[in-house]
Amino acid sequence: MSKVNNSNFYRYLFYSREKIHVWVFFLSIISLIFGFLNVYRNIFPSIYISSSFILLEELLRILTVLSTIYIILFLPSYPLFFLILKNKKYRFLEKISFTIIFNLCFYIISGYLGNLAGFSMTSLYFFTCVLSSYITFLFANFIFKGLKYGFKIQNPFKLKEKSFHLSSEISPPIKYIKKKISRNALLLIIFLLLLCSFYVVRYSYFFGTDGWAHIYITRFITDEHYLPLDEYFGAMGLHIFSSVIYFFSGIELVYLPKYFVFYSFMVTSLLFYNIQVRIFKNNNLALLGVFILQAFPLGFGNHLLIQFWPTSLTVIMCLEIFFLLYVRMQNFVKLEKPSREALLSNMIFCYSFAIILFVSAILTHTLVAVIMLISFIPFYLIYFLKDVNRGFDLALLCGMLGIFFVLLFSGVITEFVIYFNIFKYPWYYYAIGGICGSIGAIIVLKRIVRYISFSNGAFKKVIEGENSKIYSLIEDKYIYPVCLIVILGFILVFLIGITPMLNINFSKTLIGVESTVLILFSIWGLFLFQKKPRGKILLVWLLSFGVLIVASLAILPLGFGRIALLAVPVLVIGFVSYFYKLIKIQKSTSLKISLFLVSMVIFSFFAFYYDDLTDPDQDEYGLKRREVYSIMVFSKLSPEHCAIDSEFGWSYIFIYYGYPYGQSNGNLSSSELYDFLGGMQYLFHPSAHINESGVNILKSLKQELGSDVFLILDDTYLDTVHGGLGKLTNEEIKQYNNLNYLNKVLVSKSDKGTEIPYYWVI
């Protein structure tokens, strides 16, 4: 009897599809209450819990953080995607990603609109936006359902057997969850959480120094209550979103970048999983792709996502655009030409959502958003030239490009091209390059358009060698031998000892070998997979990135690495597509393939962690607490306006601690606070202080600038002129004790005796 009652209890609480939204509603209300409590404390900071209730204070803080996580993930748009827009074309996890990323866009656009309308960017403003929007969505759902089914008030807890779709014998919720989540998915989730935790404990604050610029802007918003659009080219997306997290949770801003990796990793993984499920229609292959993307040292997870960058949020939004376009394109690559119904199917939702995503991406990182948009255009252009209906969505991408120019020329975003100095060459250089590029593009496009076909069965015939064995011959005679040569070459270089002779970091060599092998199999996998109609778009996408990389080397060398990072997802898809081919020819269970995959995983982990623990760059990019504390002390005690020559990337740490929040009325910009002598780290060497004419450069700088000059010395520093790391010898460090024009005013010293002295130019 009790077993039956327990079964009914579990069914009553968890298994009714009609009741799950009720529990989500109650959870939303609870989260909003805790969010409001923190908002209330921001408005009235004098109200606090007595120190005698420390345990209650900690419990309230934990509940507030958990509520904030729920709010930023699911509110206010949960009712929109799960109640109002019940589109059966999208799966549950796809709707979850829609909800999370739409909320991200909602906060960004709300911040811009509120700032434009003259509202103060306060916790109360954002809480009001969330609450009012959530209520609006619920009310809209009530109206839509009322118009469709009639306005009837029902008991939400009324038990209906037809809504269970389950047998009378129901296991507890944990067993039910186990049935819904595969073991591989559970292991991957645990791995990603452990990986994020590793990055949290790996650094005292966070990886990289760029994050200090972004938390300074975030703190400016939270303290001054408006958007500093003169900072970071007017792209405030990350900073608005970070401000919302701070307003609702109360977490210290200096720790926000450290824990932000959980958001960037998990959301990217969910989105990339959804993309691959649509591509390969295989859950395990999708999980493998997520694992490779985040765990292999390709620069995407271990460099792009772990840094507190706007790039990560922009990539998330642009990948969601790709997902929408890819799902929609499946109707356009069938053997039959797309009908009018196929063109209009789900068009309003896709176009509206894609435009919201792109506008938010532009307002977060303009350059990355434009690069991603340009990478999407070629395959739609090819399809448009092949058949107008198949490339119908090219109009959407052109519209997005128009939106970018409208935002650029209206001054909402600044002209970032000036910063990167793209137009630094004579005009005829670009004219010749444009003409040659156009001619080459026309020739290539004509060949590709002629080659494109939408027939079925070509992929199967190629991988099984029914038409020609040329593909298997290429694989056996070129792909495998090249990979073997790369690996043997690495072993030979390592054994002979050429690596240290060439001053090449051993860990970087490991990563280079692995990346080369993966790229070879990725390109080959995409070349095979493009025989499927749904695979052609992926190969063209990779080629688009290849063209952009070549163009960046000619015009914008600094952008080469960034574009290469953006191409990593499609490379991973290519690598997984090779395993898709092995599954189709039933070789995925062979001992050789299993050993290859296991070897790749072991090699990847060894390369990744060896590089992370031995590469000196890791210490340079992750600041110690003593270093930050000394900057904080200096910022409080230094003169109002002085010149600083410090290590690259430290400037915004001084600004973060030195800016007079709430006292300047927004009239003081960050550039007016200090004079940072960028690119002058060569002055760390004592021999560079006196030029060929015998003039003391430091004293001359003090006279020219009319302010105090401080030299903050680090024995190992990032050389922005020659690249890599610069280092002072022990003799050079000792020379500073005998320089009579410098006075040591502050020092940061570690337990091991390592010092970072602050010298004042007398």
SS3 (DSSP) at 500: helix
pLDDT for 158 equals: 54
Distance CA 250, CA 61 (A): 8
Neighbour count for residue 419 (Cβ, 10 Å): 10
pLDDT in tens, 365-403: 998 999 999 999 998 888 888 888 888 899 999 999 999
**Regions of the chain short of the pLDDT cut 70:** 1-19, 44-53, 88, 148-179, 414-430, 457, 464-469, 476, 488, 490-507, 556-559, 587-594, 612-621, 664-667, 679, 715-725, 750-753
Distance CA 563, CA 368 (A): 8
pLDDT for 76 equals: 95
pLDDT for 162 equals: 46
Distance CA 724, CA 726 (A): 7
Q: Specify the long-range contacts of residues 60-67, CB closer than 8 Å, at least 24 apart.
A: 60/34, 61/250, 63/34, 64/34, 64/35, 64/37, 64/38, 64/248, 64/249, 64/250, 65/249, 65/251, 66/31, 66/34, 67/30, 67/31, 67/32, 67/33, 67/34, 67/35, 67/248
pLDDT in tens, 469-520: 677 777 767 777 777 777 767 666 655 555 555 555 666 777 777 788 888 8
Distance CA 688, CA 154 (A): 82
Q: How many residues does the chain have?
A: 762
Is residue 105 within 8 A of residue 362, CB to CB? The reply is no
pLDDT for 336 equals: 80
Contacts of 463 (CB under 8 A, 6+ apart): 471, 528, 581, 584, 585
Tokens (6 digits) for 657: 């601690």
H or E segment to which residue 712 belongs = strand 708-712
Distance of CA 228 to the CA centre of its chain: 23
pLDDT for 164 equals: 43
On the CB side of 570, CA atoms within 13 Å amount to 31
Dihedral sign from CA coordinates of 164, 170, 172, 175: negative
Closest CA to 756 of 718, 716, 723, 719: 716
Q: Kindly tell me the number of DSSP H helices and DSSP E strands found in the chain.
A: 33, 7
Residue 197 to residues 306, 316, 450, 528, Cα–Cα distance (Å): 11, 21, 50, 38
pLDDT in tens, 25-74: 999 999 999 988 888 777 766 555 555 567 777 888 889 999 999 999 99
